Amino acid sequence: MPKYGMPGVDADRGKSRVVGGSVLLLIVVVVLAAVVYRNTGSPDGLRIALRTEQIGDGISEGSDVRLDGVRVGKVARVAPDALGTQRITLQLDDSRLHGIDDSLKIDYSPANLFGISEIELRRGTGGSPLHNGALVEFTGKRAADVYDATLGSVLRSLSQVGANVLTPQMVTALSQLSSDFRAFTPLMQALITVARSIADNQTMKPSELAGNLGPAFSGASKFAASGVEVINRLNHINIVQTDKQHFDYAVQTMNEVILPQVSKTLGVTGGYLSGTTDMLAPTLVMLAQLVPRPQQSAAELRALLGNLRRAMPDTPDGPVLDLDVDLRGVPGIAVPLLGSPATPGGAR
């Protein structure tokens, strides 16, 4: 039996080669598909790294990455690398990277007037497509593809240019300002975040807010005027003007004698009456249970008081009960009250 043969299977050399080639081709296709899937990107986008010899002031984790002025990602991590270089990891939206390959160039530029920095991507020529996990080198000859246009770099350049035309003190101050600018970046970012939050959540117009604040300022002015008037009246009390010594003695007696004694009395009383306060809670609970439906009870009491008011109208001699008594057929009561014999048909 040949080496490619199997018992009970009708196969020749040609068929065996076709089957083996098909299996090998299927394995190659599966491997290529897995490699392409791993390198085309992650669910969170395209993640690449930049190795640079310099980094712009203010570039840190969370800084924006833009292409043609449109935000396409952010800085995921900044860490030192070998031989004094830095590794900047970018998290990018691969659906917006039109025309960007590994020949790209980068600019460190300010995002706004406050100098908060971001990375601007610029297109290159003759590069290879980017894949997830790619490392783009900006060292050696490619160091010129990195341009630092941050405010710190501008100040350093200004200090170097002005070394011959400005005083040494001015140059030192500019150099110190450029080196310390990084410390102000978090504060500026916080201010921008607060301003953006206020702008995003503002629902009232500034004119409407100012109009609503107007009465508050008016009330504040009246309160201040009243406070000044109270102080003025206290200052013009007769006893303060004519007998200040007696007034001081009264205040001293109040502070040093009366108030301490009152405090002591209340403290002693509280010690003896503290047990009785435990009865207050059950009593209040029972009182609340007497009126299980307060709204209905209030309505019924209001109706009762209204009926009493209508039954006793006001007269010149005061409230009088408005009551009619029918005494027909009751001569024993009618004669004493009316002062005359009861007649048939009755009287009132």
> Mean pLDDT across the stretch 42-47?
70
Token pair of 282, please? 């059950």
Stated pTM of the model? 0.38
Backbone angles phi, psi at 70, to 5 degrees: -105, 135
Chain centroid to CA 307: how far? 56
How many other CB atoms are there within 10 angstroms of residue 48's CB atom?
Answer: 23
Compute the mean pLDDT over every residue in the chain, rounded to the nearest whole number: 79
pLDDT tens, position by position, 110-166:
877 666 788 999 898 888 888 888 899 998 888 888 888 777 777 777 666 656 666
The rounded distance, in Å, linking the Cα atoms of 178 and 182 is 8
Closest residue by Cα to residue 54 from 146, 184, 182, 151: 146
Contacts of 101 (CB under 8 A, 6+ apart): 124, 127, 128, 129, 130
Q: How confident is the model at residue 162, as a pLDDT?
A: 59
